[in-house]
Amino acid sequence: MDTQSGSENYTVSVLQRLAARGDKDAIVAGERRVSGAEAVSTTLRIAAALRDLGLVEGDGVAMFVENSPEALLLQLAVHFTGCRLVFVPLEPGNKELAALIDRADVKVLIFDPALEERTQLVADLITVPHVFSIGPSSFAADFLVASSGTTELPLRDASDGRHLATILYTGGTTGLPKLVVHRKSCYDSIVQLSHAYIDDVSSNPMLLIATSITHASGHSSFLVGVLSGHTTVLLRKFDAGTALSVLDGERVTAMTVVTPMLYELLDHPDCRPGRFTALRSIIYLGASASPARLTQALERFGPVLTQLYGATESGMVTALTPQEHDLRRPQSLTSCGRPLPGVEVELRNDDGKPVATGQHGELYVRSHAVMEGYWNDPGRTVEVIDDDGWFRTGDIARQDENGYLYIVGRARDIIVTGTTADNVYARLLDDFLTAQPSIRDAATIGLLDDDDREIVHVVLVPEDPADVPDLTRLTLEIDSALGELYRPASYSFADSLPRTQIGKIDKEALRAAVLAAHT
């Protein structure tokens, strides 16, 4: 393999780290074990196949996949060639997926055979020049077979890093999803972040990735893991029992989960204190965790917890380290930590002015990890990024005198259900519901269940109070259009919805009314 390269493309460093592993495992996925040499060879042959298709720098390649070694290596190959990587998440409904792919302007759609049926339905709604599977498929060519006959590219053929681009979905109304664009500066931040996760203690550091690799958490975890010397251990789908078995059997030293996954691990009968003696780090992210649950996790796993707070648009913002999860200071478990190196934060009032220490304000972030903007959507971009590069998160927080941040609410109407790394955007469901002929008005709110997780509750105002919608049928329609993530856990009916003076639905008042009625 030619190791000479003057490219600034981060994939070269990743491939060099993989190559250094030689015949040792680089990726472990169930019974499959992929060596470092095989990972590099596969990546560079896939890259050659992409170029043989006639793709050039900047062309979009969409990935609709479950977790697999091939999907990880395909991500590297897309960026190696300078193509634009477009992540298609599993959660939205088919119409939303079609809108996402269409809006992202892709030349190639590559899907997992396990998702073949959905891919066919989505592909019928849009026009994509090339559709391939990564594995046997009844209606598309197998891209892995096609790439197996190519000659792997030399590392010196990597595209210049300035062409790097990744598009991630972050919700929106049907037909106009928000697509976040990250470029080279984001990957420079990931490379820098990886230095903090080098494990000098474990003889064979292994990182278990439980989140989806088409979410920012799984994608960045893989890169950080490789660059910090870890073997990647991959779960195709999250299951608490399987995850605990893999933690034990593979002697995993580090793990990345979203907070609800951590809860599921804690609730499993096989999660016993002292069982996972090799485990040195659990990174949890995606949603805040209750102090009671964190106390439970510390009792089960020991002082290994790290919380990362961030968003698709902002990248990682803060970290709460294992030493800062301090049971002697219960208040510490309510914080999301302090800003990471290179990250600036400000809390501002409604007038855009900084607030005093300890006061609540909307959180603004500036760093190299902040997105470039929303894909082909300058109007939405200027709403959240100002001329000085500050990103408006929409989260309400306070910061204490030691620099610790505490998220206390959300300015934007988002529901963290805890079922995946994604959030439910209430406006999307509201718009779908009010488009139904039998519904005059509707509002989606989040209610806390007994485990401090938010559930989706819908309040409906029927056109005819004597003829309420069939809720079973309505739920099926929501599933089909928006995906299971948006499936309401409960419904209630009202004659009207409370509104503010300027006509917006007052969801805080509505939530209070629903809670009072439930009580």
- Between the alpha carbon of residue 81 and those of residues 56, 68, 179, the distances in Å are 8, 21, 21
Contact call for residues 41 and 21 (beta carbons, < 8 A): no
Long-range contacts at 142-151 (CB < 8 A, ≥ 24 apart): 143/46, 143/49, 143/110, 144/46, 144/70, 146/49, 147/42, 147/45, 147/46, 147/48, 147/49, 148/45, 150/45, 150/48, 150/49, 150/52, 151/45, 151/48
Check whether residue 21 and residue 150 sit in a common domain.
yes
Torsion over CA: 143, 148, 153, 158 (sign): positive
Check whether residue 360 and residue 495 sit in a common domain.
no
Q: Residues 82-92, buried b or exposed e (16+ Cβ, 10 A)? A: bbbbbbbbbbb
Residue 168 belongs to a domain: yes
Check whether residue 362 and residue 469 sit in a common domain.
no
Residue 68 belongs to a domain: yes
Helix boundaries (H) for 20-176 = 36-52, 69-80, 94-104, 116-123, 143-148
> Which residue in this structure is represented by tokens 């989960």?
257
Residue 136 belongs to a domain: yes
Residue at which a domain ends, from 380, 410, 440: 410
Number of domains in the chain: 3
- Rounded Cα distance, 411 and 393, in Å: 9
Residue 446 belongs to a domain: yes
Q: Which domain CATH number covers 336?
A: 2.30.38.10
Check whether residue 424 and residue 405 sit in a common domain.
no
Burial class (CB in 10 A: 0-12, 13-18, 19+), 81: buried
Q: Which two tokens stand for residue 55?
A: 């793709």
Residue at which a domain ends, from 137, 158, 182: 182
Residue 282 belongs to a domain: no
Domain assignment of residue 379, given as a range: 291-410
Check whether residue 308 and residue 372 sit in a common domain.
yes
Check whether residue 6 and residue 151 sit in a common domain.
yes
Using DSSP bridges, classify how beta strands 361-366 and 391-399 pair: parallel, antiparallel or unpaired.
antiparallel
Contact call for residues 109 and 10 (beta carbons, < 8 A): no
Q: Taking Cα atoms as reference points, which of 416, 473, 485 lies closest to residue 439?
A: 473
3-class DSSP state of 409: strand
User: What element of type H or E holds 221?
Assistant: helix 216-227
Check whether residue 19 and residue 92 sit in a common domain.
yes
Check whether residue 383 and residue 437 sit in a common domain.
no
pLDDT digits (tens, 9 = 90+) for 74-87: 999 999 999 999 99
Residue at which a domain ends, from 366, 395, 410: 410
pLDDT at residue number 34: 98
Residues contacting residue 375 through CB under 8 Å, at least 6 positions apart? 103, 104, 167, 179, 180, 181
Contact call for residues 342 and 334 (beta carbons, < 8 A): no
- Rounded Cα distance, 472 and 119, in Å: 26
Q: Which domain CATH number covers 478?
A: 3.30.300.30
- Rounded Cα distance, 360 and 447, in Å: 23
Check whether residue 425 and residue 406 sit in a common domain.
no
Q: Where are the beta strands (DSSP E) in 351-489?
A: 361-366, 373-374, 391-399, 405-410, 414-415, 424-425, 439-448, 454-462
- Rounded Cα distance, 167 and 185, in Å: 14
Residue 192 belongs to a domain: no
Helix boundaries (H) for 352-455 = 378-384, 426-434
- The per-residue pLDDT string of the chain (519 residues; one tens digit each, 9 = 90 and over) reads 444 444 589 999 999 999 999 999 999 999 999 999 999 999 999 999 999 999 999 999 999 999 999 999 999 999 999 999 999 998 888 888 998 999 999 999 999 999 999 999 999 999 999 999 999 999 999 999 999 999 999 999 999 999 999 999 985 433 466 899 999 999 999 999 999 999 999 999 999 999 999 999 999 999 999 999 999 999 999 999 999 999 999 999 999 998 888 988 999 999 999 999 999 999 999 877 778 789 999 999 999 999 999 989 999 999 999 999 999 888 899 899 999 999 999 999 989 999 999 998 899 999 999 999 999 999 999 999 999 999 999 888 899 999 999 987 666 666 777 655 456 777 678 878 887 889 888 888 988 887 777 889 999 999 899 899 999 999 999 999 888 889 999 999 999 888 754 345 777 789 889 988 876
Burial class (CB in 10 A: 0-12, 13-18, 19+), 433: buried
Check whether residue 38 and residue 55 sit in a common domain.
yes
Residue 31 belongs to a domain: yes
- Rounded Cα distance, 16 and 40, in Å: 8
- Rounded Cα distance, 180 and 384, in Å: 12
Check whether residue 508 and residue 379 sit in a common domain.
no
Check whether residue 434 and residue 390 sit in a common domain.
no
